[in-house]
Structure 1
Amino acid sequence: MSSARTVITFGTFDVFHVGHLRVLERAAELGDRLVVGVSSDALNLRKKEREPVFSERERMAIIAALKPVDEVFLEESLEQKREYVEKFRADVLVMGDDWKGRFDHLSDVCEVVYLPRTPAISTTALIEKISNIG
Protein backbone atom coordinates (compact mmCIF):
# COMPACT_ATOMS: atom_id res chain seq x y z
CA MET A 1 0.00 0.00 0.00
CA SER A 2 1.51 3.34 -1.04
CA SER A 3 1.31 6.32 1.25
CA ALA A 4 -0.42 9.53 0.23
CA ARG A 5 1.76 12.09 -1.56
CA THR A 6 1.67 15.60 -0.16
CA VAL A 7 2.30 18.52 -2.50
CA ILE A 8 3.21 21.97 -1.17
CA THR A 9 3.21 25.26 -3.04
CA PHE A 10 3.44 28.92 -2.18
CA GLY A 11 2.19 32.24 -3.51
CA THR A 12 0.76 35.64 -2.77
CA PHE A 13 -2.48 34.90 -4.67
CA ASP A 14 -3.46 38.57 -4.70
CA VAL A 15 -6.26 39.57 -7.10
CA PHE A 16 -7.01 35.88 -7.69
CA HIS A 17 -7.18 34.93 -11.39
CA VAL A 18 -7.38 31.88 -13.64
CA GLY A 19 -3.57 31.54 -13.72
CA HIS A 20 -3.62 31.01 -9.95
CA LEU A 21 -6.39 28.43 -10.29
CA ARG A 22 -4.54 26.52 -13.02
CA VAL A 23 -1.28 26.29 -11.06
CA LEU A 24 -3.16 25.01 -8.00
CA GLU A 25 -5.06 22.45 -10.08
CA ARG A 26 -1.84 21.24 -11.74
CA ALA A 27 -0.06 21.08 -8.37
CA ALA A 28 -2.93 19.03 -6.89
CA GLU A 29 -2.64 16.53 -9.74
CA LEU A 30 0.91 15.69 -8.60
CA GLY A 31 -0.25 14.17 -5.31
CA ASP A 32 -3.08 13.26 -3.00
CA ARG A 33 -3.01 16.29 -0.68
CA LEU A 34 -2.29 19.94 -1.52
CA VAL A 35 -0.92 22.31 1.11
CA VAL A 36 -0.65 25.99 0.17
CA GLY A 37 1.47 28.66 1.84
CA VAL A 38 0.01 32.13 1.34
CA SER A 39 2.58 34.93 1.62
CA SER A 40 1.97 37.20 4.60
CA ASP A 41 1.31 40.89 3.99
CA ALA A 42 4.78 41.69 5.39
CA LEU A 43 6.49 39.12 3.16
CA ASN A 44 4.63 40.45 0.12
CA LEU A 45 5.79 43.98 0.92
CA ARG A 46 9.43 42.79 1.18
CA LYS A 47 9.25 40.63 -1.96
CA LYS A 48 7.21 42.89 -4.28
CA GLU A 49 7.73 46.29 -2.65
CA ARG A 50 3.99 46.91 -2.46
CA GLU A 51 1.19 45.94 -0.16
CA PRO A 52 -1.24 43.34 -1.48
CA VAL A 53 -4.69 44.51 -2.59
CA PHE A 54 -6.34 41.88 -0.36
CA SER A 55 -5.21 41.15 3.20
CA GLU A 56 -3.50 37.88 4.12
CA ARG A 57 -6.68 36.81 5.93
CA GLU A 58 -8.81 37.42 2.83
CA ARG A 59 -6.31 35.70 0.51
CA MET A 60 -6.09 32.68 2.82
CA ALA A 61 -9.91 32.42 2.88
CA ILE A 62 -10.06 32.44 -0.94
CA ILE A 63 -7.39 29.73 -1.27
CA ALA A 64 -8.92 27.59 1.51
CA ALA A 65 -12.29 27.63 -0.30
CA LEU A 66 -10.86 26.05 -3.46
CA LYS A 67 -11.66 22.41 -4.17
CA PRO A 68 -8.06 21.25 -4.91
CA VAL A 69 -6.69 22.76 -1.66
CA ASP A 70 -6.57 20.64 1.49
CA GLU A 71 -4.72 22.94 3.88
CA VAL A 72 -3.58 26.59 3.95
CA PHE A 73 -1.00 28.29 6.15
CA LEU A 74 0.66 31.70 6.35
CA GLU A 75 4.14 31.89 4.79
CA GLU A 76 6.23 34.35 6.79
CA SER A 77 9.63 33.99 5.07
CA LEU A 78 11.08 32.79 1.76
CA GLU A 79 14.08 31.47 3.70
CA GLN A 80 11.88 29.00 5.63
CA LYS A 81 10.85 26.88 2.62
CA ARG A 82 12.80 23.87 3.96
CA GLU A 83 11.09 24.13 7.36
CA TYR A 84 7.66 24.33 5.71
CA VAL A 85 8.40 21.32 3.49
CA GLU A 86 9.50 19.31 6.53
CA LYS A 87 6.67 20.50 8.79
CA PHE A 88 3.98 19.44 6.31
CA ARG A 89 5.93 16.30 5.27
CA ALA A 90 5.72 17.36 1.63
CA ASP A 91 6.84 14.89 -1.02
CA VAL A 92 6.70 17.49 -3.80
CA LEU A 93 7.41 21.23 -3.83
CA VAL A 94 5.71 23.05 -6.73
CA MET A 95 6.75 26.53 -7.79
CA GLY A 96 6.11 28.63 -10.90
CA ASP A 97 8.84 28.49 -13.52
CA ASP A 98 9.68 32.13 -12.78
CA TRP A 99 11.45 30.62 -9.71
CA LYS A 100 13.27 27.95 -11.80
CA GLY A 101 16.45 26.77 -10.08
CA ARG A 102 15.89 28.82 -6.90
CA PHE A 103 14.73 25.83 -4.84
CA ASP A 104 16.76 22.97 -6.35
CA HIS A 105 18.69 22.78 -3.05
CA LEU A 106 15.54 21.27 -1.48
CA SER A 107 15.70 18.20 -3.74
CA ASP A 108 17.35 16.32 -0.87
CA VAL A 109 14.05 16.43 1.08
CA CYS A 110 11.43 16.42 -1.71
CA GLU A 111 10.88 16.41 -5.43
CA VAL A 112 11.04 19.97 -6.82
CA VAL A 113 8.76 20.80 -9.77
CA TYR A 114 8.59 24.14 -11.61
CA LEU A 115 5.32 24.61 -13.50
CA PRO A 116 5.00 26.99 -16.45
CA ARG A 117 3.01 30.10 -15.74
CA THR A 118 -0.22 30.78 -17.62
CA PRO A 119 0.79 32.98 -20.57
CA ALA A 120 -0.35 36.62 -20.62
CA ILE A 121 -1.72 36.58 -17.07
CA SER A 122 0.04 38.60 -14.39
CA THR A 123 -1.31 39.93 -11.12
CA THR A 124 0.95 42.98 -11.40
CA ALA A 125 -0.30 43.72 -14.93
CA LEU A 126 -3.91 43.26 -13.78
CA ILE A 127 -3.43 45.69 -10.89
CA GLU A 128 -1.82 48.25 -13.23
CA LYS A 129 -4.65 47.86 -15.76
CA ILE A 130 -7.32 48.27 -13.06
CA SER A 131 -5.63 51.32 -11.53
CA ASN A 132 -5.42 52.98 -14.98
CA ILE A 133 -9.17 52.60 -15.58
CA GLY A 134 -10.12 55.25 -13.01
Structure 2
Amino acid sequence: MTHRVGYAPGVYDLFHVGHLNILRHAKSQCDYLVAGVVSDEMAAQAKGKAPVIPLTERLEIVRSVRFVDAAFVETVPDKLETWQQVRFDVIFKGDDWRGTAKGDKLERDFATVGVDVIYFPYTVHTSSSLLRKVLDGLADSA
Protein backbone atom coordinates (compact mmCIF):
# COMPACT_ATOMS: atom_id res chain seq x y z
CA MET A 1 0.00 0.00 0.00
CA THR A 2 1.35 3.40 -1.00
CA HIS A 3 1.77 6.03 1.70
CA ARG A 4 0.92 9.41 0.09
CA VAL A 5 2.63 12.42 1.66
CA GLY A 6 1.06 15.82 1.04
CA TYR A 7 2.58 19.28 1.42
CA ALA A 8 0.55 22.43 2.06
CA PRO A 9 2.76 25.53 2.05
CA GLY A 10 1.61 28.92 3.28
CA VAL A 11 2.41 31.88 5.48
CA TYR A 12 -0.57 31.05 7.72
CA ASP A 13 -0.58 34.58 9.12
CA LEU A 14 -3.70 35.70 10.99
CA PHE A 15 -4.94 32.10 10.85
CA HIS A 16 -8.50 31.96 9.51
CA VAL A 17 -11.11 29.57 8.09
CA GLY A 18 -9.50 29.63 4.63
CA HIS A 19 -6.31 28.21 6.13
CA LEU A 20 -8.31 25.60 8.02
CA ASN A 21 -10.19 24.61 4.86
CA ILE A 22 -6.98 24.15 2.87
CA LEU A 23 -5.50 21.94 5.59
CA ARG A 24 -8.73 19.93 5.94
CA HIS A 25 -9.04 19.40 2.18
CA ALA A 26 -5.33 18.59 1.88
CA LYS A 27 -5.52 15.92 4.57
CA SER A 28 -8.44 14.30 2.74
CA GLN A 29 -6.13 13.84 -0.28
CA CYS A 30 -3.16 12.23 1.46
CA ASP A 31 -2.15 9.87 4.27
CA TYR A 32 0.35 12.18 5.94
CA LEU A 33 0.14 15.98 5.74
CA VAL A 34 3.11 18.29 6.17
CA ALA A 35 2.27 21.99 6.44
CA GLY A 36 5.05 24.24 5.19
CA VAL A 37 5.08 27.44 7.24
CA VAL A 38 6.92 30.18 5.37
CA SER A 39 9.62 31.98 7.38
CA ASP A 40 9.18 35.64 8.31
CA GLU A 41 11.98 36.63 5.92
CA MET A 42 10.55 34.73 2.97
CA ALA A 43 7.06 36.07 3.64
CA ALA A 44 8.39 39.65 3.75
CA GLN A 45 10.28 39.05 0.49
CA ALA A 46 7.23 37.59 -1.26
CA LYS A 47 4.54 39.94 0.08
CA GLY A 48 6.52 43.08 0.85
CA LYS A 49 5.50 42.96 4.54
CA ALA A 50 6.51 40.83 7.47
CA PRO A 51 3.76 38.63 8.94
CA VAL A 52 1.78 40.02 11.87
CA ILE A 53 2.20 36.78 13.83
CA PRO A 54 5.84 35.69 14.32
CA LEU A 55 7.04 32.39 12.86
CA THR A 56 7.27 30.51 16.17
CA GLU A 57 3.62 31.28 16.92
CA ARG A 58 2.41 30.52 13.37
CA LEU A 59 4.28 27.22 13.51
CA GLU A 60 2.68 26.29 16.83
CA ILE A 61 -0.82 27.19 15.59
CA VAL A 62 -0.46 25.16 12.39
CA ARG A 63 1.21 22.24 14.18
CA SER A 64 -1.78 22.12 16.56
CA VAL A 65 -4.40 21.72 13.81
CA ARG A 66 -5.66 18.13 13.91
CA PHE A 67 -5.34 17.67 10.14
CA VAL A 68 -1.60 18.41 10.22
CA ASP A 69 0.80 15.54 10.91
CA ALA A 70 3.95 17.66 10.83
CA ALA A 71 4.95 21.28 10.29
CA PHE A 72 8.07 22.36 8.42
CA VAL A 73 9.66 25.83 8.31
CA GLU A 74 10.05 26.83 4.67
CA THR A 75 13.17 28.97 4.27
CA VAL A 76 13.85 28.85 0.52
CA PRO A 77 11.64 30.12 -2.33
CA ASP A 78 12.39 27.12 -4.57
CA LYS A 79 9.69 24.50 -3.92
CA LEU A 80 11.84 21.79 -5.55
CA GLU A 81 14.53 22.47 -2.97
CA THR A 82 11.88 22.12 -0.27
CA TRP A 83 10.76 18.86 -1.91
CA GLN A 84 14.31 17.52 -1.61
CA GLN A 85 14.08 18.07 2.16
CA VAL A 86 10.48 16.93 2.79
CA ARG A 87 9.91 14.38 -0.03
CA PHE A 88 6.18 14.79 -0.60
CA ASP A 89 4.06 13.17 -3.32
CA VAL A 90 1.53 15.97 -3.77
CA ILE A 91 1.58 19.72 -3.18
CA PHE A 92 -1.55 21.75 -2.47
CA LYS A 93 -2.08 25.37 -3.54
CA GLY A 94 -4.97 27.80 -3.69
CA ASP A 95 -6.66 27.95 -7.09
CA ASP A 96 -5.58 31.58 -7.40
CA TRP A 97 -2.29 30.01 -8.63
CA ARG A 98 -3.97 27.94 -11.39
CA GLY A 99 -3.17 29.21 -14.88
CA THR A 100 -0.68 31.82 -13.65
CA ALA A 101 3.01 31.94 -14.56
CA LYS A 102 3.86 30.82 -10.99
CA GLY A 103 1.37 27.95 -11.11
CA ASP A 104 2.50 26.83 -14.57
CA LYS A 105 6.14 26.81 -13.41
CA LEU A 106 5.18 24.87 -10.27
CA GLU A 107 3.40 22.24 -12.39
CA ARG A 108 6.33 21.95 -14.84
CA ASP A 109 8.92 21.71 -12.06
CA PHE A 110 7.04 19.07 -10.10
CA ALA A 111 6.20 17.01 -13.19
CA THR A 112 9.95 16.31 -13.43
CA VAL A 113 9.91 14.54 -10.03
CA GLY A 114 6.46 12.95 -10.21
CA VAL A 115 4.74 15.26 -7.72
CA ASP A 116 1.07 16.09 -8.32
CA VAL A 117 -0.16 19.68 -7.95
CA ILE A 118 -3.69 19.94 -6.56
CA TYR A 119 -5.52 23.26 -6.37
CA PHE A 120 -8.20 24.06 -3.81
CA PRO A 121 -10.73 26.90 -3.95
CA TYR A 122 -9.31 30.15 -2.66
CA THR A 123 -11.38 31.64 0.18
CA VAL A 124 -12.26 34.96 -1.42
CA HIS A 125 -14.26 36.48 1.45
CA THR A 126 -11.54 35.85 4.05
CA SER A 127 -7.83 36.32 3.54
CA SER A 128 -4.93 37.37 5.70
CA SER A 129 -4.39 40.35 3.38
CA LEU A 130 -7.98 41.47 3.88
CA LEU A 131 -7.77 40.96 7.65
CA ARG A 132 -4.54 42.94 7.74
CA LYS A 133 -6.14 45.86 5.86
CA VAL A 134 -8.98 45.92 8.39
CA LEU A 135 -6.52 45.85 11.30
CA ASP A 136 -4.38 48.57 9.70
CA GLY A 137 -7.53 50.70 9.27
CA LEU A 138 -8.43 50.22 12.92
CA ALA A 139 -4.93 51.17 13.97
CA ASP A 140 -5.04 54.30 11.80
CA SER A 141 -8.32 55.43 13.35
CA ALA A 142 -7.21 54.82 16.94
TM-score, with length taken from structure 1: 0.92
Q: What is the Cα-based RMSD across aligned positions, in Å?
A: 1.2
Contact 2:37 2:71 in 1 (8 A): yes
Determine the structure 2 residue equivalent to 1:125. 130
Q: Which range moved further: 84-93 or 6-15?
A: 84-93
Structure 1 residue 111 and structure 2 residue 110: aligned?
no
1:78 aligns to what SS in structure 2?
coil
Determine the structure 1 residue equivalent to 2:81. 83
Determine the structure 1 residue equivalent to 2:101. none
1:98 aligns to what SS in structure 2?
coil
Q: 2-side partners of 1:28 and 1:85: how far apart?
A: 18
Q: 2-side partners of 1:18 and 1:102: how far apart?
A: 28
Determine the structure 1 residue equivalent to 2:12. 13
2:71 aligns to what SS in structure 1?
strand
Determine the structure 1 residue equivalent to 2:93. 95
Amino acid at match of 1:82: L
Q: Deviations over 1:100-120 (max 9, x none)?
A: 224112123211112111231
Structure 1 gaps, min length 5:
none
Determine the structure 1 residue equivalent to 2:30. 31
1:44 Cα deviation from its structure 2 partner: 0.7
Amino acid at match of 1:96: G
Q: 2-side partners of 1:60 and 1:46: how far apart?
A: 19
Q: Deviations over 1:42-83 (max 9, x none)?
A: 00110011111011111000000000001111111222x112
Determine the structure 2 residue equivalent to 1:65. 64
Structure 2 gaps, min length 5:
99-103
Q: 1-side partners of 2:105 and 2:28: how far apart?
A: 22
Give the percent of matched residue pairs that are identical in Structure 1 and Structure 2.
33
1:11 Cα deviation from its structure 2 partner: 0.3
Q: 2-side partners of 1:63 and 1:19: how far apart?
A: 13
